[in-house]
Structures are given as structure tokens and as C-alpha cells.
Amino acid sequence: MPRHIHFIGIGGVGLSALAKIMLARGEIVSGSDTTPNALTDELANAGAKIFVGHAAENIAGADLVIVTSAAQAVNPEIIAAHSQQIPIVKRRDFLREVTAGYETIAVAGSHGKTTTTALIATCLTQAGLDPTAVVGGIVPEWNSNARVGHSKWFVIEADEYDYAFFGLTPAISVVTNVDYDHPDLFPTREAYQAAFAQFMRQTRDDGVIVTWGDDSHARELAEASAHRVIIYGLNESDEWQAGQVQANRFGGSDFGIYQSNQFKGEVSLRIPGTHNVLNALATVVVAERVGVPFDATRTALQRFTGVNRRFQVRGTFRGATVIDDYAHHPTEIRATLHAARAMYPIAHIWALFQPHTFTRTRALLNDFANSFGDADDVIITNVYAAREADDLGISGEDIVKQMNHPHAQFIATLDQAERYLMERVKPGDVVITLGAGSVTDVATHLVQNSNA
């Protein structure tokens, strides 16, 4: 008999994917969120009951309540579930049930995990392995963040926030990097690294860990895990190497693949940046591990056009190219802007950055200040608070004060920044909106007002 599973925060990228999988397994699904979005629309069309706003009556008839990490204890649905003795489970614990019985490929890392997860899932799909997949972004080929397959394979983005990846026991663990983040949850770099160490230890005894050789933290933690470790990177000493990396006519990269210094073949990517070469290389390693022929992997990589909000070309504004990117960490900003400079070497690049959370802004302030060297003009806005209430006395203006950039300024609101750009952007320029918050709306408005 199907259970009734209620998701608090069903519009989020994490829970919405799990809700889709539960629907496909024949469960009754309901959920609530503060505002509807494309993900809740997709779920409603698939048969889920969606509530806008949180209220005690929303959980009526539920057998199990899954709760987002962002939910507060005062949420009326959480209070009602407690009073009715309905089990309340976080994503971490629910993942154990969702992935039970599968050969799980889990992709963790501070950066690159969404694109790498999508690359692996689409590669396995096109090779006929029919995986189930959960990705932390919209994959255009699916028009969704989840895919329901019918094979033993489960490809999942393994999120460190709220220790969600502790709910996984992968056959293959991919760790793209371990670069300190989420200071609201991990007070020190050591605490952050300890969480990744635990995730790696949870890899099955017969499993493998695939990691980037140039990230010393990731490599050391992997090698201390007592598992078989496969190292990939750009160096001849790496077990899997990408060599002779060159820009191509698609705006991406062409490169050769080597295993133990033996040439495997050429790969051509449409997505830009050295960071995506590494993401693709991790995909090659995993694909080879699960038996996908190299030619099939190469074809899938060449067809891949990216994930929404990952260097997504949204359109134009009066002859300027508008790109939207989820980058909200200094390392991600540098990689995105470096890819943009390589792709548009003579263009005037505008970077509009909305910092995400006060704790991250304070903890990584100096790193943020040194992340915009490839942009010609930089605009920093107010901090997007997300789950935080205390501003800690920090502002986007503090980043600008630390910057040694000739054309960086603080503009408090997105509306003001949008007007500023509309008045100054010229044909041939490139505008990049950066951040995990609402800054994406500016990219949307610019494209919509291209002929205004």
C-alpha cells in the first residue's frame, strides 16, 4: 500500500528531485513551499499535491514528513507532525531509503559537483545504462533536476550541507575538491574536511574514490580512507590525465585523454573552462569504471550543453551577451570569469555579484576581494541572506573596500544595479550575473528588455 510522503520545502532543488522519484515509485506525494516555481509545477503535473505556504493542515494524512535543512523548528507543519507523532526525517536519513539496493555513484565536492553529476548521468543514459539520477540543477535535456531510470545505477549529487551526504554508501565516490565553504555549519576548515573524510569512509568496501590530484586536501583524505583511489588531473603523474588542452570553436575545450600515460582518444567539450575539462575527465573515469565504451563517453561529452545557471548564456541585451552563473564562492567566481575571459578575450566583461549568506561573506572576505581580476567592471550588491537572520555586521560593500580593482563598486540593490547596467552596457560587451540568490533575475530582465 503506498505511503503518503509530505515534503516541507518541496520547491528546493534537493527535495523536489526526491519527491519526483517517490512519485515514480507509486507513493502519494504532497509538499509545501513559500512560493511556487518550475520544480513544483513539474511535480504538480506529475500528480503531487502542492501547497503554497506552510500550515498545519497541509500534512493531513501523511505517513512520513521529509524536511528541508532550511526549515525552522517553529514551522507549523513540523509542529503538527510532532503533535501527531508522524515521523520527521531529514534528507540525509531519507537518502538511505531512496538509494537502497542501487549501485550508487555519488559526486561530492565544494565546486563542480552539479555539472559532474549531470555529465555522468547523461553519459550513462546515452550509453543505455538507464540510471536514476538526482542533480542539484536543471539539466536541459531532461528539463528537470531528476531522472527516473530502471537499472541498478543511481547517480546523485552528494551535498555536504547539513551532512546530507552522510546518508549515502556509494559504490563510486567522486570528490572534485575540498575547498572550505558553509562556515555557518562548519566553524573551521578542519571540521569541513572531517565531514568529507567521513563521506569517503562510507564508500563501500569494494568501492572506489575518484578525486582530483591537484587538490591536496581531497587527495590526502581519499588516500587515508583505506579505499582504492583513482586520481585524475592535468599532470602526467595522475592515473587519468587530460593533455593538450586547447580552446575550440564551440567555446569549450579539446583535449586528449590518457590512462597511465597511454593515449585513449580525443574529447571535445562545448562547455568552457579548465574546471569543466576536469569535470569531464572525472566523468571519463567513472564511465570506464562502469563499462561504458570510450567512444560512447566521448559522444555524450561532446553533446553536453551544460546545466542551467552554470555559465548559461541566457541571450543578449542590445548586442551584449548575457551569461548567468551560480558561482557564489571565490574559487567558483575566479573559474567562471577566467572561462569568460578565455571565451571572450577582447570583450568588456561586466561582473554583477550578489554575495550569498553573511557567514560565507565574512569568512571568505579577502578571497572574494581577489576573485574578480578577469572582469573589467565589477558590481557587488547587498548580501542575499538565504537561511540567515543575523547580518554579522557584514555587507557587500566590505568586499569592495578590500578590493584592489580599478572599476569595482558597491550598488546596494539588484534593481539599482540592473538600471546601472542598462544605462551603460554596450554592444559586444559581456554581462555575467553571479550568485546563488536572486541575482539570476537581473539576467532574465536584461534579456527581456533587449529591445526596450
Residue 20 corresponds to which cell in the numbers above? 519526483
CA–CA dist 293, 297 (Å, integer): 6
Give me the catalytic one of 40, 99, 114, 203: 114
Exposed/middle/buried for 54, CB within 10 Å: 0-12, 13-18, 19+?
buried
For 72-131, the DSSP string reads -TT-HHHHHHHHTT--EEEHHHHHHHHHTTSEEEEEE-SSSHHHHHHHHHHHHHHTT---
Residue 113 bears catalytic tag: yes
Residue 341 corresponds to which cell in the numbers above? 575571459
**Which residue bears the cell 501547497?**
51
Backbone φ and ψ for 385, nearest 5 degrees, come out as -70, -30
Backbone φ and ψ for 223, nearest 5 degrees, come out as -70, -20
> HSE on the CB side for 365, CA within 13 Å?
15
Backbone φ and ψ for 120, nearest 5 degrees, come out as -65, -45
**Residues β-bridged to residue 241:** 233, 258
Give me the catalytic one of 77, 157, 160, 418: 157
Give me the catalytic one of 42, 68, 113, 336: 113
Closest of 272, 260, 270, 271 to residue 235, by C-alpha: 260
CB 48 within 8 A of CB 30: yes
**Which residue bears the cell 565574512?**
362
Single-letter amino acid, residue 210:
V
**Which residue bears the cell 531512496?**
98
Helices (H), 25-112: 38-46, 76-83, 91-99
Classify 283 as helix, strand or coil. Answer: helix
Closest of 94, 5, 85 to residue 43, by C-alpha: 5
Backbone φ and ψ for 445, nearest 5 degrees, come out as -65, -40
Classify 426 as helix, strand or coil. Answer: coil
Residue 246 corresponds to which cell in the numbers above? 586547447
Q: Helix %, strand %, coil % for the chain, to 5?
A: 35, 25, 40
Cα–chain-centroid distance for residue 146? 13
DSSP assignment, residue 442?
H
Closest of 305, 255, 280 to residue 120, by C-alpha: 280
CA–CA dist 179, 330 (Å, integer): 10
Catalytic positions, please?
A: 113-114, 157
